[in-house]
Amino acid sequence: MSGFRTALVVATLGLAAAPRPAVAQAAEWAAQDETVYHIFVRSFRDSDGDRIGDLKGIEQGLDYLQALGITSLLLSPIQPSPFYHNYFATSFEGIDPDYGDVRDWHDLVTAVHARGMKIYLDVEIQYVAAGHPWWQESAGNPASPYTPFMLYHGPGNTQPESAVYGLTTTPTWDGRNIGLATINLRAPEVLRYFQVMLGALAAPNGDGRFLDGVDGFRIDHMMDDLDNKGILTNLFADFWAPVFAHLRSVNPRITIIGEQFDWGYGEDFLKRGGVDLVFAFPIRGAIVSLDRRALASALAETAQKTPAGKGQLVFIENHDVNRFASELRDDARRLRAGAALGILLPWTPSIYYGQELGMRGRRHEGWTADGTDIPDREAFEWTRRVEGPGAALWYRDTGPWWTERYARDDDGISVEEQQGDPGSLLSYYRRLLALRRGRPELRRGAVQFLAAPDSALLALARTTGDQTSVLLVNLSDRAVRAAVPLPAALQGVPLRDLLTDAPVGSGPLELTPYAAMLLATGPERRP
């Protein structure tokens, strides 16, 4: 067990009362210096006035993202699909024409890399939608060369295997009903196809420079036994391992992010599954709860179950969960506490588009089909007017997701309204990301829980080399006054709160409800 993991595990055994564990050097993990920005492509930025987010729009937003402190983009699927979210493809090649064309994709990838940033692409390749040529040409035609690509039951290719959740069809937000089926991931033809197809996305021209290819992939709904049906089993070894091996032979620096289907700690996916990172779902749940004991436990168990050299994406929002602001009833204090935790905790932070503005959204279970999730995927708010320039309002005037939308004119939740305000949530995110970028211990430092004397106070020290800082977060609605035993490097020296750039006096520390502090030696200049 690495020193990083040991320190976290030991710390949780006694929480507030235990002696402080020794600080050990942290093991490096994948993407430790990155900050990921998760973009739902259709909703981010419209470049051509059709109200649909597109690749050119993302390119136009790169100045904003780089100023925010983002190093890496994670794009939702861009493959052709009858669904607005672009999962369940009708082709694994090409680009949804709503988003642009191959030239637009090449321009975006080139622009991202020219800035020293990375780009990851979400792929979902286990299923297809009606209209995919593999299904279309093999259905009822066993002689089709595509028959091995599809998973059929019964005679004559008449009964395709259902997709996720046992679905054979699914209704859509715009009133259609689309067929779904499962790919035969055990077929050698399928394995080779995806090796070549994904390899071409990683290294399109094979020149060894990788400037025109993606830096990695997010594997959606990854499972060893697909959908627990006992039909497509041992996929980690028989399908994903050779796919990943081929990608790493094409580009040794490729990064594979697995979305573990069970939303657990992801240990099996990091070990047997062979991915580099998984999503820190348990940490996300603990942050939303703002419970110190739950958060300390989730951090410790995540550390224990994350192998050396592997990583976790720490997030508080994504396209499948409620917006953090709606979970916490738009409480500005708690939004800042969540931001500090999401950015300054160990591993790699992932920000869902608009999270930094406090965008709101909550799944509406009463609505039908995939419209249920539109509130979590509303258009990014560039301007104070909902229908301002760049607004990707693809769902405008189509149903309750529009009339009951969360975004409203002049609601204070837009880039235009927040970018010039030093007290805005956007400015706070910029500050957090600048600190993380500028201080190596916040990216890769060893971790040590401190014996906080108050049950509401999370106290976490990070150290690398000669640089130490301490994150304090009051996870309660009451003020906390506590004498926190600081690491030796911070004892008897002038301290500052790097989040406010204010000096910190000697004696007990005082934190208002849901306040965060980042203590380090002063003086400190703002990043």
Residue 520 is which amino acid? A
Q: What is the per-residue pLDDT across 29-46, written as a single tens digit (0 to 9) for each?
A: 778 999 999 999 999 999
Range of lowest pLDDT (4-18, 98-112, 234-248, 474-488): 4-18
How far does Cα 305 stand from its chain's mean position? Answer: 19
pLDDT in tens, 358-408: 999 999 988 778 999 999 999 999 999 999 999 999 999 999 999 999 999
Give, in order, the Cα–Cα distances in Å from 450 to each of 3, 11, 23, 344, 465. 16, 8, 11, 16, 19
Q: How crowded is residue 121: how many other Cβ atoms within 10 Å of its Cβ?
A: 22
Q: Which residues of 329-350 are buried (b: 16+ CB within 10 A; e: fewer)?
A: eebeebbbbbbbbbbbbbbbbb
Q: How many domains does the chain have?
A: 1
The parent domain of residue 176 ranges over 127-184
Do the domain assignments include residue 250?
A: no
Q: How far apart are CA 24 and CA 285, in angstroms?
A: 27
* Residue range 302-357, pLDDT digits in tens: 999 999 999 999 999 999 999 999 999 889 999 999 999 999 999 999 999 999 99
How far apart, in whole angstroms, are the C-alpha atoms of residue 292 and residue 302? 15
Considering the domain boundaries, does residue 169 fall inside one?
A: yes
In a domain, 173, yes or no: yes
3-class SS letters over 6-25? HHHHHHHHHCCCCCCCCCCC
> In degrees rounded to 5, what are phi and psi of residue 189?
-65, -40
Helix 332-344 vs helix 425-438: crossing angle, to nearest 10: 20
Out of 1-5, 127-131, 255-259, pick the least confident: 1-5
Amino acid 354: pLDDT: 98
CA distances from 516 to 444, 475, 490 (A): 20, 9, 18
Residue 260 lies in a domain: no
Enclosing H/E stretch for 195 = helix 188-202
What is the pLDDT at residue 18? 36
pLDDT band of residue 84 (cuts 50, 70, 90) is very high
Q: What is the residue type of 96?
A: D
Tokens describing residue 123? 């792929």
The most distant pair of C-alpha atoms in the chain lies apart, rounded to whole Å, by 81
Which residue type occupies 321?
Answer: V
Q: If you compute the radius of gyration of the chain from its CA atoms, what whole number of angstroms results? A: 24
Residue 278 confidence (pLDDT): 98
Using DSSP bridges, classify how beta strands 36-39 and 348-352 pair: parallel, antiparallel or unpaired.
parallel
Rounded Cα distance, 26 and 447, in Å = 7
If you average pLDDT over every residue of the chain, what do you get? 92
Domain-embedded: residue 177:
yes
Q: Tell me if 273 is assigned to some domain.
A: no
Question: Does the residue 366 lie in any domain?
Answer: no
Q: Give dist(CA 350, CA 343) in Å, integer.
A: 8
SS3 label, residue 270: helix
Q: Does residue 144 lie within any of the structural domains?
A: yes
